[in-house]
Amino acid sequence: MEGNVHSKELAAYLLSQHSEQLSSIILATDPRLHYSVYVDFAEIMDDNPALSQFIFAKPTEYLPLFNEAAVWAQKVILADLKQCENASVKDNVHVRINISGSPLECPETFPSIGRVRVKHRGILLTIKGTVIRSGAVKMIEGERIYECRRCKHRSSAKKENLCRFKVYPEVETRNSIPKPIFCPSQRSVICESTSFQLVEDNKICHDYQEIKIQESTQVLGVGAIPRSVPVILKDDLVDMVKAGDDVIVTGILTAKWSTDLKDVRCDLDPVLIANHVRRMNELKSEIDIPDDAVLKFKQFWTEFKDTPLKGRNAILQGICPQVFGLFTVKLAVALTLIGGVQHVDASGTKVRGESHLLLVGDPGTGKSQFLKFAAKLSNRSVITTGLGSTSAGLTVTAVKDGGEWMLEAGALVLADGGLCCIDEFDSMREHDRATIHEAMEQQTISVAKAGLVTTLSTRTIVFGATNPKGHYDPEQPLSVNTTLSGPLLSRFDIVLVLLDTKNPDWDAVVSSHILAEAETKNHNYEEDLGTIWPLSMLRRYIQFVKRYFRPVLTKEAEKVISSYYQLQRRSATQNAARTTVRMLESLIRLAQAHARLMFRNEVRRLDAITAILCIESSMTTSAIVDSMGNALHSNFAENPDQEYIDAKQERLILERLHLQDEFPEVISTGGSICR
């Protein structure tokens, strides 16, 4: 009786709050599909607090009642839609509870995966994680109907009144349906029969899929091992997510027996039966940026309005401050993390906005330090080696789990929407070498393994580091020194070579810096963006300029970039892999990233010149500047704005590009950084 009362209350709530969703389901044409009715738990609490308490405390009992109430509510609505010929009541309706914005987002009902315990069993539980495995969609039997042979023999009633009862699959025994032990008849004379007949014409099946989600490494402390939990998706929830997706799952925690293995104890493994799944991919790169931080950014650039390069260098000095100098590397890291603007043409073809960076250098040149610091600057990051930490490696692989083939996501898939830092880049697996080209350029991975055919997203910034093969030979091309193929190297927007030339003057400066850092490391300074940018402000600044600036090229910038590209095409001494359209796209991305770094919404001539200098630093033989120097020994200028003009780099580049007639003011005055 209690169930009937609450079922009516649930139906009344659906009629009052979600009649539009129910009406659209009634008007749907296919009665065999499964339909969802999305309900906010916060709304239920406001409308009927007692009912919300029942749903939270006893979801196993009340969620099926909610589904039945949705069917009954359809019948009520259908009575008012008699004029619609195609309208019909759909039996396969599922009420999905969204806990967003409700008190259930507290730690007790929204724990991390590693903190899920027995006390969470049986309540409406919510967990958050990344999908690391995605199984195939299967079909399972939802219930069986048995008929008691004895009751049927003794009963003179009609067939529909015979003693029939349903038996449901048990998750604990891996969805097997047990045979009934005794007749559940509730008649005056107890039926003790153990003989039953299966009713074959009432078989009901459901779509079924198992995924595994893992807690994010971003919220774990050093040394903590990320935990995972399997999740069961049924009916309309199947195939909603893929490996690499960030999800928030609401459901009921239960258990199942682990796989039978010889001489291994059989335990109960936790499993979550999902009721609601929310994909969080669009929020991967979002971090909180308060208004006072935005005000500080604007004030900072107001102060450096007349000396913009000095302001830019103040930001760059906050990148990996424990490493002295390396201006070129820090500029490349900043431009890579900020990236350009993704372009989609009329045909739907996408040109990626994410940039890729590769550091090639001798041991002890600080490559790993930059990898780790870049991972801290990104809101979503994965650090791995070329070999990969799992069988999935960098891309994706098919693994067998419990007799079933599942896709396991690699580092690039798990870092979708963020940054993937790969140390020892040249030691990657063979199957990664074959697929990483697509992952870096098209930002997808096409999978066809063990009968699993799909496409996974890898909208990822790749930051790689590798040692040269033996002693670096400047006379040989980069592909020979690194054992990386030319096509793979061409995927990187910037490739910097850091060579330890054992310069005594440089070693003396570096040692003095390290000793000075050791003396002042315990001192606390007031936060002043004009002198030092702390890590938290750097993260917010990078995310802010990526979110709110979409720079467009000015005519001057277009002329500079176009002329440089044409010069590279005419040059016969350059590596053919670097003189393709891909290099032109890299120039545009780097120029847009520099404009964002300079807090602007337009790409000026200065941004184009800086992008060219970054590309020139990636080449062993420069087509513009006679000697770019070793990136390892590049240092910050004391007065970068004046030195930019005095060095006449802009004038030299424009003359080499035959643009002196286009910009006569630069040739006559020596340069202008405000353009």
Does residue 69 contact residue 16 with C-beta atoms inside 8 Å?
no
Local confidence band at 591 (pLDDT 50, 70, 90 cut-offs): very high
Region 201-218: mean pLDDT is 77
Region 341-360: mean pLDDT is 82
From 416, 363, 423, 357, select the one nearest 387 (Cα to Cα).
423
State how far the Cα of 351 lies from the Cα of 586, in Å rounded to an integer.
Answer: 10
State how far the Cα of 32 lies from the Cα of 18, in Å rounded to an integer.
Answer: 22
Q: Which of the two residues, 5 and 82, has the higher pLDDT score? A: 82
Question: Which spans in 209-360 are helix H?
Answer: 291-303, 308-316, 327-338
State how far the Cα of 599 lies from the Cα of 592, in Å rounded to an integer.
Answer: 11
DSSP state of 170: B
pLDDT at 594: 92
661 contacts: CB under 8 Å, gap ≥ 6:
none
Q: Which of the two residues, 540 and 362, has the higher pLDDT score? A: 540
Task: Say what the pTM is.
Answer: 0.75
For the stretch 370-399, pLDDT in tens is 888 888 888 878 888 766 555 557 777 777
152 contacts: CB under 8 Å, gap ≥ 6:
162, 163, 197
Local confidence band at 596 (pLDDT 50, 70, 90 cut-offs): very high
From 101, 459, 37, select the one nearest 282 (Cα to Cα).
459
For the stretch 227-284, pLDDT in tens is 888 888 888 888 888 877 888 888 888 887 766 666 666 677 788 888 888 887 654 4
Question: Which spans in 361-462 are helix H?
Answer: 367-377, 411-414, 430-441
Beta-strand pair 124-135/204-214? antiparallel
Local confidence band at 285 (pLDDT 50, 70, 90 cut-offs): very low
For the stretch 7-66, pLDDT in tens is 777 788 888 888 888 788 877 777 778 888 888 888 888 877 888 888 888 888 888 888
Region 79-104: mean pLDDT is 76
| SS3 label, residue 496 | strand
pLDDT at 387: 65
For the stretch 296-344, pLDDT in tens is 888 888 888 888 888 888 888 888 887 777 888 889 899 999 988 887 7
Q: Does the structure show a pLDDT above 50 at 3? A: no
State how far the Cα of 625 lies from the Cα of 617, in Å rounded to an integer.
Answer: 10
For the stretch 143-161, pLDDT in tens is 777 777 666 633 333 444 4
Quick one: tokens of 26? 């009634």
For the stretch 609-626, pLDDT in tens is 888 888 887 764 444 544
Does residue 197 contact residue 149 with C-beta atoms inside 8 Å?
yes
DSSP state of 285: T
Tell the residue number behind the tokens 């350009």, with chain if given. Answer: 340
Share of the chain above pLDDT 70, in %: 74
pLDDT at 342: 84
How far, CA to CA in Å, does 523 sit from each of 3, 172, 455, 513, 519?
66, 58, 51, 16, 9
The number of beta carbons lying within 10 Å of the beta carbon of residue 293 is 14
For the stretch 453-503, pLDDT in tens is 777 888 888 888 888 887 777 777 777 878 888 788 888 888 888 877 676
